[in-house]
Amino acid sequence: MNLKEHVEELKRDLLNENGPQISTMGNFPFAILQYQPEDEYLMRQQVADLVNDLRHEGWIAKNISLFGLLIKRLKAIDEEEDVLDDFLGDESLIETYIADEKRLYQKQGLDRSLRYLQEKLANEIEGHDGLASDILTEIKEIVDQGATKKTVVFLSRTGALYPFHKTSGLLRYLDGKTFNIPVILLYPGTRQGTTSLSFMGEYEADRDYRPRIYGS
């Protein structure tokens, strides 16, 4: 099956007459749409068409960009640092990160410079208080605005988190907190076997994926 066929399969399961049938287990309303990283723009178009079709059927379909959430977090760091800058005249924390990353790249190579950024950004994007918290805030807004049984959330621009964050734990932090709204993670990577995924095709395949995977 190609990407278009997997999206069609996902659409059929969402529109099932008995309610969304995307989950492999009860009370776990998550699924993963896996695609090859080089198909990023094709995936965006396919999912945009799916969202339009769902809205035509009376659904509330929300697209949450993980890239957008990451940028908001980085801007928030800079805004906090700006208060100190008024007194100290120092460059912002993000500017410091960038400068240090460049120096490490020149002296010790790409792997070391990326590892430095991973370490610095980990506390901002991982765990219960990281991007998962921001996602739940947006889902809560949907609920407050009147979510129905015909509501679905797509988590997109996942590739923007590479190489700073693996996504295997992200859905686990959302489990039990999404008001039973189906959440579809758009996953750039490769699939190995039934439940194993390699983020961006670069990491060792992770077998810690419980949700149903649409992809090949």
Considering only CA atoms, which of 66, 65, 70, 199 is closest in space to residue 124? 70
pLDDT of residue 1: 79
Please state the rounded mean pLDDT for residues 145-157: 94
pLDDT at residue 88, as a whole number: 38
- Alpha-carbon span 98 to 93, nearest angstrom: 9
**44 pLDDT more than 90:** yes
Question: What is residue 209's predicted lDDT score, i.e. its pLDDT?
Answer: 67
Residue 2 has φ and ψ, to the nearest 5°, of: -95, 180
Which run of H or of E encompasses 34? strand 30-35
| Averaged pLDDT score across all residues of the chain | 85
What pLDDT shows up at residue 89? 45
Amino acid at 115: R
Which 3 state secondary structure label does DSSP give 69? helix
pLDDT, tens digit, 9 for 90 and up, residues 58-111: 999 999 999 999 888 877 776 665 544 443 345 566 677 778 778 877 888 777
**pLDDT of 190 higher than 60:** yes
- How sure is the predictor about 157, in pLDDT bands with cuts at 50, 70 and 90? very high
Reduce the DSSP state of residue 4 to 3 states and report it: helix
Between 212 and 92, the higher pLDDT residue: 212
Strands in 46-141 per DSSP E: 60-65
Q: How far apart are the first and last CA of the chain?
A: 7
Q: Where do the domains of the chain lie?
A: 3-67+127-214, 69-125
% residues pLDDT > 70 (the chain): 89
In this prediction, residue 134 carries a pLDDT of 95
Q: Is the pLDDT at 51 greater than 70, yes or no?
A: yes
Percent of the chain surpassing pLDDT 90: 48
Would you state the pLDDT for residue 92? 64
Compute the distance between CA of residue 133 and CA of residue 31 in angstroms, rounded to an integer: 19
Rounded Cα distance between 99 and 92, Å, is 11
**Segment 15-19 long-range contacts (CB within 8 Å, at least 24 positions apart):** 15/54, 15/57, 19/149
pTM (two decimals):
0.85
Q: What is the pLDDT at residue 160?
A: 84
The Cα 135–Cα 125 span in angstroms is 11
Residue 18 has pLDDT above 60, yes or no: yes
CATH architecture of 3-67+127-214: 3-Layer(aba) Sandwich (3.40)
Overall average pLDDT of the 202-208 stretch: 71
pLDDT for the residue numbered 178: 94
